[in-house]
Homo-oligomer: A and B are copies of this chain.
């Protein structure tokens, strides 16, 4: 028996919803496609924000805040961008409500001359500011970041993975030339890769997206891709070199050293609350989430086995002193976050709540532990031995001495487990497209684990690429990216037989 009603093997999508609900991460709201993020989920986001913000600032970016609403005419300026976003945006058309025939309605007299759209991303409004701020080469590079909510009217939504409104960070920069802008694009990609791996324990493959998967208006798009426990890929972050597309549309020009007017080269890059979905599908198990300690809002939870008896007081004092000692420790460069749960509920219910949320270390302290000066605890990432819950007991002083090390070890174990899964499930042995059709097609069973495949191709464009896309789509596959690390020589393109020029990853995806 497990803590969730459905296991990963039984029904992975259902299991995912169960973790989101039972780990108290988020729930659906009455606003279509939008979620309410609850304290455990929001606390994870706060940790992501805090550390990523530190890394973004350290690499020379300043935080700004731009308006939520973008004038419609701004969106219309860049053709590819319009095409990519116009179909799924929330449009503000009125600025007042009025009671009409007893019903509250948009006031017809308060219709806006120009509608606004709720930002799906902010290239256009930030580009407009760039055009005012950038005058000389001395003003470049201009490197900024924004933490914001954005909105895309998605038809099929799934908590954290794809919601109409989501929270994210968007970097926007302007540079003198392509070389400098490309350095920035790769810098952002590397921030995302290292952050995902170090802080979320999420191993990823960084690489370039094919032409047909680029951001609307981008010259080149790079991504980090993570492997979920069902074998599917999750794009966890993207970094775009925008060339001079937005600079042309928004007139971002600078006076160069020779006195001429030159178009700036821009970039943009973002990660969102989607990352939390990736953490769930990478580290969750059939008992709930296993939260990586670096991002766990509470890293060590102490549950006193209160029985409504006089000895409860002594037990509470013991637990409070344990937590006070733990909170003096440092792990991952920050103070340890220990917490004693004194809520009025059955201790075993509380224990299971913390198991489902995935607090990394859960201490259950009974009167005997207190009397003997011991700490009995569960290591959430290694919860069971067979079916049985595996608990450990240490003297209090030993537990305190080892606690930070246990947290850091947990982080590493979660990463290693996910890394082994990723590395072990990228096939390089499917030599022909027929092999791929067999593996992902005729031999495919509903819900069966299918990893990724690494193949060589000739990097077709236009209609030829569209044709490749169709062949893959028939197998529910997409090209994820061309990993940064490439071999020195190539064979034949798996799609056309022409000489190959790079290796790409193909996979099913979210």
Contact = CB atoms under 8 A, between A and B. Distances in A.
A67 interface: yes
Interface stretch (A110-118, A393-401, A463-471, A499-507): A110-118
Interface stretch (A26-34, A186-194, A195-203): A26-34
Contacts of A30: 71, 74, 125, 128
Nearest to A98: B86
A9 interface: no
B86 A31 contact: no
Contacts of A86: 96-99, 104
Nearest to A104: B76
A98 B72 CA distance: 11
Given A39-B63, A92-B92, A106-B91, A70 B31 contact: yes
A36 B64 contact: yes
A42 B65 contact: yes
Contacts of A138: 344
A382 interface: no
A74 B31 CA distance: 10
Nearest to A82: B104
A29 B66 contact: yes
A251 interface: no
Interface string A19-59: 00000000001110011111100110110000000000000
Nearest to A343: B138
Given A86-B98, A93-B94, A68 B118 contact: yes
Copies of this protein in the assembly total 2
* Size band of the interface chain A makes with B: 35 or more
Nearest to A106: B91
B87 A97 contact: yes
Interface string A76-102: 100000100011111111111111000
B63 A36 contact: no
A364 interface: no
B75 A97 contact: yes
A406 interface: no
A128 to B, nearest CB: 6
A167 B92 CA distance: 19
A116 B89 contact: no
Given A76-B104, A90-B92, A67 B97 contact: no
A63 B43 contact: yes
A416 interface: no
Contacts of A314: none
Given A39-B64, A64-B39, A65-B37, A31 B125 contact: yes
Nearest to A85: B97
